[in-house]
Structure 1
């Protein structure tokens, strides 16, 4: 596969989806191949290349997990230890949960914590401490260890554990534990560090359907451990190559013992009905593609989207980053799938939904919620539609401007028990989820992107 073919596909795909800018990189056959398209901003355009910083959102989570594993290797953290060993001040809505949640529960999203707490705790060094101090306001979706439900709040807690154990801010600790040893010289958490380098901004559709620069560039500081990283494609491939290796740098210096590094990609909990993966490792989603095991993570925020996928069996990795909502996800997905097929011969296909069934549809129609969002399912008698919205009170109370809501999505139920589904249209096309039932068989919740929305009506 020629480098030109990759670059041509990235350009054609970026143009198809209307992306201002895309940066992508592939590691294959022992070498790195980069392709870039477009500009950093429609207002102040600069060419995008492999060194341009993009906001990576939740791709930050494996970085936080690796920092924790370095502390495990040093004997400073135990995975099965209760969080309160390191944060005795932790108070949750459920006292039993506060005493039972372990570090491992946070790393694989089995803590029982809801998605996140939408609060503003400032940009000072106490941002994470203040966030943790308010966690009693966050609902729990279940008991620790019962099931996996994606939680940004859980990774913010991990960030605070890192602070308490190292005596440093989360950002400085990660720089010393991860960025420095691995030579990640183009990976940052602060706007101040990014602004003196070339960086992409996100874009959202305005009222006229035109792309405009998103008003925010990154999440607030308390959310850095699960979503605050900005990095370049070149740094992300260097990061991926570390996770393809034996825990040593190119110079042979051990950063993490091989057994701990490889433990991160072993399944810790199975996942159901989600395109994120078949299982969670430690900070990584594990997913089988065409019979081959992969590890990876995606991320999004403020009009920027990123995907990182690693294929250990083939010593292969790909990163794709784009900077416009709502089509950044399908753009990245198309480039990722093309690379898997053309470099490795692996075909990543979506499952096909069953024909519309009115009786099954009536079982799932209703209103569902998490702490910050609502999830409504309706039917016109011919198909199913879901709409996810930020709660008006959350939007009104936020000190930061929240991106516009997505248009409703069509979706269909998948073969089997009828409790799994796939989005069939819109920006989230291909995203999968499932419905939860109580002991009587009634639908009581719905999962999307690993998050559990509980049924209200």
Structure 2
């Protein structure tokens, strides 16, 4: 009996030691990442084969309060995978069909394009409905307040492609899917998630909201400074409205192995399986052997990753959307760490880009000073035009950034959240150019006026000389 206890003790110590090492390694790395990048705060959940490896909060929120494993934070578009789970639950109950048209469950569903009648439930979840930001820029439009309103406003939405033909990441796909859940289940979407998904998984601190609640302020970066900002008011229901904790995210990650009792293992696997030739499944993206998804609010970012060896990683940060999703950067570094690698904290691309933009802005100011001083040299009207060119990208900035951000077009205010450094740098460039253009224009005008009196004087002198000659000749 004593020998048996010794064997069990050795086995327990053998499993506890790697777990403790993993926990210590995660803690040390996340703190090093925050110190190196200036990221104000992050919440992390790591699981392995259903067991919790680490749940913790690091840093602080926008109010200065420490983040913990129980701090409630928005996970943005990680919500899509949860909406997909809710749809699949109804499919398992025989109340929904993935390949049935949306109009079977929402008879009032109409688009401006009659092809919208062919959109199926599956097309909503794998984002091949043909709806797209390029055709219906929902970020720029008046925001709905309920899922019913979100569906109704699509009556003015054209299609960007044939239903089922192309992938377009578009939040309204999941707004419609959530509305289907609401109608078929016969209860508000938030209540359905709470009772049918969150409760069975033990996610007691999780909920879904239709708009940013109070207390969800975060940060944006500008020229290396972290600036606290309130989340702007926009509709989040169904597609990016879940607010949860690191503790609950660990339970969510564990449920991806076999459905966690809320869904069958087969349906859970279906959520992670894209159609042939595609990489987006049902609320999850599958690339390079990783099953993952990211989420972005203007003041927070999130990421979740499932590794082939059984690890699950979720990260939520208090830094808003930018060139890089900082939660994804940190989550991928943690993935490297738990797989035995040695990641090194690196500055996000946006920080490096801001340094370049700051340098360009300073150079522009210097050139503007020189340009104003030399405005009277080589007076030509065409020289007024080149300094005005920076006004062009500033005027069309939301459209230009839409190309960078996969066709998603926002407003100037939203661009200011996403990349304040770019807006500020372009404004400085435009102002510097405008100053030089005005100086050159004034020099041209004053130069023209100065020449006119001289020319008039010369003309009068010539006339007087000619008149005097005529008198002397007579």
Contact 2:75 2:295 in 1 (8 A): yes
Partners in 1 of 2:241 and 2:328 — Cα distance?
22
Give the superposition deviation at 1:46. Answer: 1.0
Aligned to 1:26: 46
Aligned to 2:290: 294
What TM-score comes out, normalization by structure 1 length?
0.68
Contact 1:306 1:321 in 2 (8 A): yes
Unaligned runs of 5+ in 2: 1-20, 345-391, 424-474
Q: Does 2:315 align with 1:342?
A: no
SS class of match (2:231) = coil
Give the superposition deviation at 1:87. Answer: 1.0
Match of 2:310 among 309, 315, 335: 315
Aligned to 2:251: 238
Partners in 2 of 1:65 and 1:7 — Cα distance?
32
Contact 2:44 2:316 in 1 (8 A): yes
Q: Does 2:275 align with 1:268?
A: yes
Give the superposition deviation at 1:149. Answer: 1.0
Give the superposition deviation at 1:122. Answer: 5.2
- Report the structure number with the largest CA radius of gyration: 2
Contact 2:217 2:228 in 1 (8 A): yes
* Residues 75, 268 of structure 1: alpha-carbon distance in 2 compared, 3 angstrom cutoff: same
Matches within 5 A, 1:50-449: 50-95=69-114, 97-115=115-133, 117-118=138-139, 119-120=141-142, 123=145, 127-190=146-209, 201-205=217-221, 210-216=225-231, 219-220=234-235, 223-244=236-257, 246-249=258-261, 255-271=262-278, 279-288=279-288, 293-311=289-307, 313-325=308-320, 329=324, 331-345=326-340, 373-375=398-400, 394-395=411-412, 403-405=417-419
* Residues 344, 404 of structure 1: alpha-carbon distance in 2 compared, 3 angstrom cutoff: closer
**Cα RMSD over matched residues?**
3.4
Give the superposition deviation at 1:185. Answer: 0.8
Partners in 2 of 1:192 and 1:406 — Cα distance?
23
Higher helix share: 2
Give the superposition deviation at 1:35. Answer: 3.9
Q: Does 2:28 align with 1:13?
A: no
Give the superposition deviation at 1:107. Answer: 0.6
Partners in 2 of 1:391 and 1:248 — Cα distance?
37
Partners in 1 of 2:187 and 2:404 — Cα distance?
43
Contact 2:209 2:237 in 1 (8 A): no
Partners in 2 of 1:5 and 1:328 — Cα distance?
28
* Residues 193, 210 of structure 1: alpha-carbon distance in 2 compared, 3 angstrom cutoff: closer
Higher strand share: 1
Number of equivalenced pairs: 348
Partners in 2 of 1:234 and 1:132 — Cα distance?
33
Partners in 2 of 1:202 and 1:102 — Cα distance?
37
